[in-house]
Structures are given as C-alpha cells and as structure tokens.
Amino acid sequence: MAQSIRKVGVVGAGQMGNGIAHVCALAGFPVLLNDTSPARIKEALATINGNMTRQVSKNIITEDQRKAALKNIGAAEKFEAFADCDLVIETATEKEEVKRKILAELCPVLRPEAILATNTSSISITRLAASTDRPEKFIGIHFMNPVPLMELVELIRGIATADGTFEASKEFVKKLGKTIAVAEDFPAFIVNRILLPMINEAIYTLYEGVGNVEGIDTAMRLGAHHPMGPLELADFIGLDTCLSVMQVLHEGLADSKYRPCPLLVKYVEAGWLGRKAQRGFYDYRGEKPVPTR
C-alpha cells in the first residue's frame, strides 16, 4: 500500500511555487510555503488570494472554497517548519547548483519517510536525487505554468525512485485534479523537449530575418492555431528559463539541433528576460506590448 500524502511543503514562492501552493490548498491539503525572505512569502500569499478571487469571479470556485483554501496555507520562514510534511516540493530557479544546495539543506530536517520532489522542467532527476539522503524517496513532479490553469503534470522517476514513492505521488497529483503524463528521465522530459526547440526555432526564424516578431507570432497563432505565438510564449516563460532548458538539451543530448539561438543568448545577456523584466521580444512598459524587433 502506497503511503499517503497529507501535508505539503513548497520551497520557493515565485510563480511556480505559489501556483503549486494554490492548487494544493484548494484540494484540501495543508501547505507550508517557504522563500528566502518573509516579504516574498507575503507577496506570494497576496498573489494566491488575488488569483483565487479571480477564480471566484469566473465561477470556477466558490467564495467558501477560497476562504477554506487560504486557511490551508501557512508561511515557513525556515526549513525546520517542514519537519512534519509528507511531501516537500522544490521550485527554485532552473539552476542545478541552486537546487542541489536546497535539497542538501532540506534533507536533515525531513522525516525519513517524507518524499522529496523537484519541479524542475529539464534537469536530471537521477542526478538531483544523488545529492539527497533519500534517492528512493525522490521524484520529479513537474507542474505547468500557470499551475491553477494548466491540467497537466509530468511525473518523472529517477533511476532509484521506489514504486511506493511513484504511487504516492500519482495519488497526490490525481487529488489535485490534474492529468499525469509519465516521462522518462531524459533532458527536458516530454513537454519541454518538444516545446523549447520550437521556441528556439522561432527565435532563429527572427534572427535570420525570415519574419519579424509580429509576423512569426501571428503565423503560429493563426496558421497552427496556437493560443499564443512562440515569441510571446517565450516572454511569458522567461527567456532565461528558455535558455537554461536549451542548454540542458544541448549539453545532455549533444546534438547541434538543440543549440540555443545566439539572439536568445543576447537578449538574456541584456537582461531582457520577457514579461518579468518588462522587456523581451515585446516591450511591456506601455499600454500594450510592442515588438522589440
């Protein structure tokens, strides 16, 4: 019988972390949210409240559900607060050394039977598991952004992940009302292995002057029925994240087709990371986004 997950900890209160806390709390799980400063946790709680209020106005949830969910979320200023959690999900930035450091610091405070998960979108689960004291209790639970809206979760086992860990994680994801895609532990898993090279190719199309920003996005929206053009999507994801995933693919699979476009590198070096930086392939500082090329 698989162990059951009752209480959840989330490390990182950014876009992914607050989204994960949001869906866990709505599904009735007590959740503790951690970040580097109390101010960031406070900001995340305000974002969650705002997002839930929007769900109420769209009749997705009721006001009572919103109130009950908010009561389920608490702040964890230190990792010690996770001592009684059954599952802790790490959602830090997509850099392996940052994730490894967090995982190493988490392990000593967790119960031996607690499951440790990472929300990485591209890094090897087997490698991350090796930096913990519980590789058999370690798994990849990759949520899509924005978490409350996206129906899919990728579940990725490392080479050492135990069956019990996998089954418990599967049950947990089902309780959140999400659909599971099981991926093998290869660079970028399923979604990003397909999506990011497409975005990278769109940036090459821009770089080589085949089309401008508007032309490329309109072509894919209306010609392939994508809800959002690839360059607009890149800005939404964050160009630094796009570059990180392409680098993981390029290094991990050693195939030139995954070479990050030099224009993507240049935008990241300029600090034009997309929406969060107010500039990327579009400039977001005015009334409406304006293409930067």
Domain boundaries in the chain?
Answer: 8-183, 193-291
The model's confidence at residue 73, banded by pLDDT at 50, 70 and 90, is very high
Reference 175, options 27, 13, 3, 11; nearest CA is 27
Give the pLDDT of residue 287. Answer: 96
Annotation says 80 is catalytic: no
Of 2-16, 149-163, 184-198, 270-284, give the lowest mean pLDDT range.
2-16
For the cut 60, the answer to whether the pLDDT of residue 1 exceeds it is no
Give the pLDDT of residue 3. Answer: 78
Annotation says 122 is catalytic: no
- Annotated catalytic residue, options 34, 72, 119, 121: 121
Annotation says 250 is catalytic: no
For the cut 60, the answer to whether the pLDDT of residue 61 exceeds it is yes
pLDDT digits (tens, 9 = 90+) for 185-244: 999 999 999 999 999 999 999 999 999 999 999 999 999 999 999 999 999 999 999 999
| Domain 8-183: homologous superfamily in CATH | NAD(P)-binding Rossmann-like Domain (3.40.50.720)
CA distance 211 to 103: 43
Q: Give the Cα-Cα-Cα angle 78, 84, 86 (nearest 5 degrees).
A: 110
- Annotated catalytic residue, options 192, 200, 232, 244: 192
- When the pLDDT of each residue in the chain is averaged and rounded to a whole number, the result is 97
- Annotated catalytic residue, options 94, 124, 142, 232: 142
- Annotated catalytic residue, options 90, 94, 154, 232: 154
The model's confidence at residue 5, banded by pLDDT at 50, 70 and 90, is very high
State what percent of residues in the chain have pLDDT above 90: 98
For the cut 80, the answer to whether the pLDDT of residue 2 exceeds it is no
Give the pLDDT of residue 283. Answer: 98
Count other C-beta atoms under 10 Å from residue 126's C-beta: 17
- The number of helices, as runs of H, and strands, as runs of E, in the chain is 11, 10
Q: Check if 8-183 and 193-291 are the same fold.
A: no
Annotation says 63 is catalytic: no
pTM for the model stands at: 0.93
Pick the CATH number of 193-291 from 2.30.30.100, 3.40.605.10, 1.10.1040.10, 3.30.1360.70: 1.10.1040.10
Instruction: Calculate mean pLDDT across residues 78-90.
Output: 98
